[in-house]
């Protein structure tokens, strides 16, 4: 591993806010509970500082970086590090299943660009792969949205998906001044250990995601209004399906918990099946 790191100009448009404090980087790795036999997918390798800390603690690191300018930096730094693989590309466009190959299970660690936090987390939560945990550095507002409870202003699809897949918890508060260049807000290192199996049964995941999207399509509208809009069903049917779940027909989507969404998905699936019968 090379100790010489070429100079580099940060690109704010890519959300490049790097951490160089070695003690802090190792504290972050401590929170992930990554062990010496584990495989890690790192999203946003940057200069490779967190990559280096991870490589000292686990079996293998597959580090993804979008900025082509950093390719020579990373390849020089890890030229002699056998357990680090550098992959240049956009994580939103990469096939993660193909990337991880035959890995029996793996952790994900990332210092996410703030403007891509929701798209990347949504993609990760949708993956049907043996993920042990997702560990991400996000701005405080994003962490609040991931951990939000029903009925709060921050509550939305991201919180439901997080609750479906794991148990998110805020571990470390990282002040903006510790980043280079410093962002405008402080960050939270969010750790989400994944369940071996989801806490609720979702037999039709595609429909579940559609129901979830419909519920929050227009937050100020009732759930019934949104179901009518997205599924094209008569209002009477929407009201009937909602009350069949033990909910008030005037309820808004932001009031539903994970169990409610799972139950509503089952009811709508049965309704669609009946509607499509010859």
Any idea what the CATH number is for the domain that residue 270 is in?
Answer: 1.10.8.100
- Final residue belonging to a domain, choices 193, 221, 238: 193
* 103 vs 271, more confident: 271
Residue 7: inside a domain: no
β-pairing verdict for 169-174 and 187-193: antiparallel
How much helix, strand and coil, in percent to the nearest 5, is found in the chain? Answer: 45, 20, 40
Give the model's pLDDT for residue 275: 84
Whole-model pTM: value is 0.90
Q: What is the dihedral of CA 184, 186, 189, 195, to 10 degrees?
A: -80
Task: Tell me: do 236 and 174 sit in the same domain.
Answer: no
Q: What is the dihedral of CA 101, 103, 106, 109, to 10 degrees?
A: -30
CA distances to 121, 140, 164, 247, 264 from 204, in Å: 20, 32, 13, 21, 11
Number of domains making up the chain? 2
Confidence check: pLDDT of 3 > 70:
no
- The range of the structural domain enclosing residue 180 comes to 12-193
Residue 52: inside a domain: yes
Task: Tell me: do 235 and 137 sit in the same domain.
Answer: no
CA angle (154 as vertex; 151, 157 as ends), nearest 5: 85
Give the model's pLDDT for residue 9: 57
Give the model's pLDDT for residue 203: 87
Give the model's pLDDT for residue 134: 98
Task: Tell me: do 130 and 227 sit in the same domain.
Answer: no
Task: Tell me: do 143 and 261 sit in the same domain.
Answer: no
Confidence check: pLDDT of 6 > 60:
no
Residues, the chain:
278
Residue 5: inside a domain: no
Task: Tell me: do 238 and 167 sit in the same domain.
Answer: no
What number is the average pLDDT over the span 249-272?
Answer: 96
Cβ neighbours, 10 Å, residue 25: 18
Give the model's pLDDT for residue 114: 80
- Final residue belonging to a domain, choices 130, 164, 193: 193
Residue 4: inside a domain: no
Residue 42: inside a domain: yes
Confidence check: pLDDT of 14 > 60:
no
Task: Tell me: do 185 and 250 sit in the same domain.
Answer: no
Mean pLDDT of the residues in the chain:
91
Nearest Cα to Cα of residue 109 among 174, 58, 173: 58
Task: Tell me: do 109 and 222 sit in the same domain.
Answer: no
CATH number at residue 41: 3.40.50.150
Task: Tell me: do 90 and 40 sit in the same domain.
Answer: yes
Between CA 213 and CA 190 the distance in angstroms is 24
Contacts of 213 (CB under 8 A, 6+ apart): 157, 230
Task: Tell me: do 42 and 141 sit in the same domain.
Answer: yes
Task: Tell me: do 26 and 123 sit in the same domain.
Answer: yes
Reported as a pLDDT band with limits 50, 70 and 90, residue 11 is low
Residue 45: inside a domain: yes
Task: Tell me: do 153 and 246 sit in the same domain.
Answer: no
Give the model's pLDDT for residue 7: 54
Task: Tell me: do 185 and 69 sit in the same domain.
Answer: yes
What single-letter DSSP state applies at residue 166? Answer: B
Residue 200: inside a domain: no
């Amino acid at each position: 591993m090379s100790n010489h790191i070429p100079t580099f100009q940060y690109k704010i448009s890519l959300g490049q806010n790097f951490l160089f404090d070695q003690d802090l980087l190792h504290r972050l790795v401590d929170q992930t509970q990554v062990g010496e036999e584990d495989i890690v997918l790192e999203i946003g390798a940057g200069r490779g500082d967190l990559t280096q800390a991870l490589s000292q603690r686990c079996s293998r690191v597959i580090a993804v970086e979008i900025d082509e300018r950093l390719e020579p930096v990373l390849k020089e730094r890890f030229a002699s590090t056998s357990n680090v693989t550098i992959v240049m590309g956009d994580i939103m466009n990469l096939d993660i299943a193909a990337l991880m190959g035959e890995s029996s299970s793996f952790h994900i660690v990332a210092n996410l660009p703030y403007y891509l936090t929701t798209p990347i987390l949504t993609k990760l939560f949708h993956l049907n792969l043996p993920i042990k945990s997702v560990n991400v550095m996000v701005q405080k507002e994003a962490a609040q949205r991931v951990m939000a409870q029903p009925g709060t202003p921050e509550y939305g699809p991201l919180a439901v998906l997080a609750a479906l897949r794991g148990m998110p918890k805020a571990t470390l508060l990282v002040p903006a001044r510790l980043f280079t260049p410093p962002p405008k807000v402080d960050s939270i290192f969010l750790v989400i250990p994944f369940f071996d199996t989801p806490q609720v049964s979702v037999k039709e995941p595609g429909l579940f995601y559609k129901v979830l999207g419909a519920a929050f399509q227009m937050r100020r509208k009732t759930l019934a209004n949104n179901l009518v809009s997205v599924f094209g069903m008569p209002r009477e049917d929407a009201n009937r399906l909602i009350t069949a779940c033990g909910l008030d027909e005037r309820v808004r989507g932001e009031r539903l918990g994970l169990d409610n969404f799972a139950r509503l998905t089952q009811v709508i699936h049965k309704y669609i099946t009946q509607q499509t019968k010859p």
